[in-house]
Every structure is written in C-alpha cells, then in structure tokens.
Amino acid sequence: MKITILSPYHGGSHQAWAVGYQQHSAHTVKLLTLPDRYWKWRMHGGSVTLARRFMEQSHTADLLLATDMLDLTTFLSITRSRTAHIPVALYCHENQLTYPLPADGSTGAMRRQLGERDQHYVFINYASMLAADKIFFNSAYHQRAFFDALPNFLKHFPEYNELGSIRTLQEKSAVLPVGLTLAEGARQIEPDDKPPLILWNQRWEYDKNPEAFFDALFVMADEGIPFRLALAGQEYGKRPSIFTDARARLHAHIVHVGHADRGAYEALMGQTAVVLSTAHHEFFGISILEAIHAGAFPILPNRLSYPELIPSAMHPHCLYDDREGLLAQLRWALTHEEERTAVTNTLIPAIQQYEWSRIAPQYDVAFEQIQSGHRA
C-alpha cells in the first residue's frame, strides 16, 4: 500500500510523527511537506503548494494522510483529476477550535483580532473533517474536547448551521496515539548523590503556563530544598518574560538553558529526576512520555490528555488538582528519592506501549481498513 502524508507545517511533533510512521510502517510512506513557519499561511497556501507538488509527481497513492494544518478541501479540489478515487484520512495533532488563547490579547497569533479567535481557521478544520473519509485524533481527550466545543461554533452561523454534521463527523472519528522513538531497553533508575534534576522540555510559550512552573520552583528554592534545573524545549518568536526573571532568580540551580540537539537532550533526560508540567494545553504529550521512559518522575495536572497517558493506579502519585497539590507532590518528589525512583521504575514499562514498533501496526491496520472500505 502506498501512503502519502501531507504535512504543510512540518516540524517539531508533526515531523517526528510523520518520520516515525514512515520508518516503522509496513507500507510505503511518502512525505509531502513544507517548513514549520507562518502557520496561518500554511493553513491557506500550503494546500495550493502541496497540490501542485502532488500533481507534478509521477507516482500516485493508495491513501492520503493529511494533518490538521492542511486545508484539505482546497487540496482535493485542485487535485481532483488524480485524487477523486483515493481515500483520505485526516490526523488531528491539534485544532483551531479549542487551542487556548493567551490572556493578553495584544500578544500571540490572534493579536490582529485583539485576542479573539479567528473562526476562519476553525472552519478550515471543520471543512477538512467533512472532506475526509476518516478522522483520527491523537488522544481521547482531544477528540472529546473538540466535539464538546463544535456545537457552539456551528451555532454562530446565522442559518443552515449544519448541526447534524456533528454526528457524521463523530461516526468517522477514532483515536490513534502518537508513536514514540524510544531508547533501546528501559533502564532501571538508581538513586544518586546529586540534587535531583527538574526538566522543562516543552515549548517556551504561554499555553504551557511557565508562570505556574516557575512559581512552584521559587517556593522550593525559598524552602531550601536542593534541586537542579534544565530549561530545554523549543522557542518560537518572543519568549514569555518569566523565563528571563526565572533565570535570574534560579541561576544557582540552572545547569542548562536553551534548545538541545537530540544527543544532548537524551543526555539531559537520562539525568532527570522530575519532569513537571503546568500546561494549559496538551492534546498528547510526546516530551513528557519520552522523559518518563528515560527515568523521570512525572508531576502533571489532573486534566487534559495526562490522565489517559498515566496508568490509573499511578494517578495519586503523579497527578495534581491545584497549586497546593502541585507543591506537595513536588516537595515529596524532591525529598523522597528512593520512593520516587520506585514509582518511576513502575511507570517506565507502561510507556513502551507508545513505541512506534507497537503503534505503527495499529496505523497500518486502520489505513488498510479505510482503503478496503473505500473500494467496497
């Protein structure tokens, strides 16, 4: 089976997902991509450019796999002479309906709309879903959040708001988690004499809520609890000011600042005792799962996609409900090394279910079913 992935915003997790599946699929997977910049233009013009490239190539595909950043309706209209009979799946890494906006409307991607969500990009996602034969979300939380919010979006329309389409979309939707490329063999974590290392390995952006992250670390520092801090992750545009303030206040604890290449990043994860999230937004959580598999103890909010990533028996250890819960769990993790490592060693095997060698066959079967159903 020949599969073409259409990825107009090809970087970060989108790139890792596409390349990971390409490398582990039993099928032949070809990538048509554009760089991960100018996201609004990618959601408009990306479909035109990728359509041109698709029409220029000599070979065809048995299935098209588009990401949510593609205006699928435009792509299919331009390429209809070659794609009219090819089944299409849409993979939703994120969506423009429930992606959180910054509290300060003068910053962020919607600053020209004074902080108001630009509904046109939501409509691109919605129309693309209508055009697809099958829709996949990267987590059950993501799927649920989107369909919970979709009725209110459609009710904005003055008439013919097509509320009946929601059931149609739900019936052709499913969950396919992101696969991970994990280090060979899970290692057992042993206590050591160094202060425990806390890792920030998410984007340096408002939706990851760095203010709450550093607030917790400020409390630990004021209480005199030893720890080291590594600030990794990617930066896009202007960083939140809290990172500058935190570097000044926590300079004695910091051992790394800035994006790390893969080798350096894996070395950091191998030293990490605690990976902490305070995110407002997470539809899956690749970086968190990678850190856990490398031996980090996770402290995560009891919401978003996190409860489905962590085995339910470990929820009391790893998930918190509020600021006080976060502080209590972080304080415990930094001061109870043997107990912390015991929990981590229990978690590591559970993360292996997301390794590409196990996830890719699920994708292969799902795509084969789409193709056979389309033929029927």
Tokens coding 267 = 């070395």
CATH number for position 92:
3.40.50.2000
Same domain, 51 and 96: yes
One DSSP character per residue, 78-119 reads HTHHHHTTS-EEEEES--TTTSPPPSSTTSSTTGGGTT---H
Closest CA to 374 of 92, 172, 176: 172
Task: Reply yes or no on whether the pLDDT at 185 is more than 60.
Answer: no
What digits encode the pLDDT tens for the residues 187-244?
555 556 789 999 999 989 989 999 999 999 999 999 999 999 999 988 876 788 999 9
Does any domain span residue 338?
yes
> How does residue 373 score in pLDDT terms, banded at 50, 70 and 90?
confident
Residue 305 is which amino acid?
A: S
The count of structural domains within the chain is 2
Cα–Cα distance measured from residue 351 to residue 300, given in angstroms and rounded to the nearest whole number: 15
The beta strand positions in 296-360, using DSSP E, are 297-301, 319-320
Among 184-193, 263-272, 362-371, where is mean pLDDT lowest? Answer: 184-193
What digits encode the pLDDT tens for the residues 282-336?
999 999 999 999 999 999 999 999 999 999 999 999 999 999 999 999 999 999 9
**What pLDDT score does 130 carry?**
98
Same domain, 159 and 220: no
Does any domain span residue 146?
yes
CA distances in angstroms from 221 to 8, 104, 225, 326, 330, listed in the order given: 43, 29, 6, 15, 12
Does any domain span residue 44?
yes
Same domain, 10 and 158: yes
> How does residue 260 score in pLDDT terms, banded at 50, 70 and 90?
confident
Domain that holds residue 284: 197-354
> How does residue 59 score in pLDDT terms, banded at 50, 70 and 90?
confident
Mean pLDDT, all residues of the chain: 93
Closest CA to 142 of 104, 183, 177: 177
What digits encode the pLDDT tens for the residues 118-169?
899 999 999 999 999 999 999 999 999 999 999 999 999 999 999 999 999 9
Residue 103's Cβ-count burial label (10 Å; 0-12, 13-18, 19+) is: exposed
Task: Reply yes or no on whether the pLDDT at 369 is more than 80.
Answer: yes
Same domain, 328 and 306: yes
Instruction: Report whether 140 contacts 308 (CB < 8 A).
Output: yes
- Give every CB contact of residue 192 below 8 A, 6+ residues apart in sequence: none
Same domain, 257 and 171: no
Same domain, 9 and 158: yes
Closest CA to 229 of 240, 218, 241, 242: 218
Does any domain span residue 188?
no
- DSSP three-state, residue 45: helix
pTM listed for this prediction? 0.92
The backbone torsions φ and ψ at residue 68, rounded to the nearest 5 degrees and listed phi first, read -65, -10
Task: Reply yes or no on whether the pLDDT at 94 is more than 70.
Answer: yes
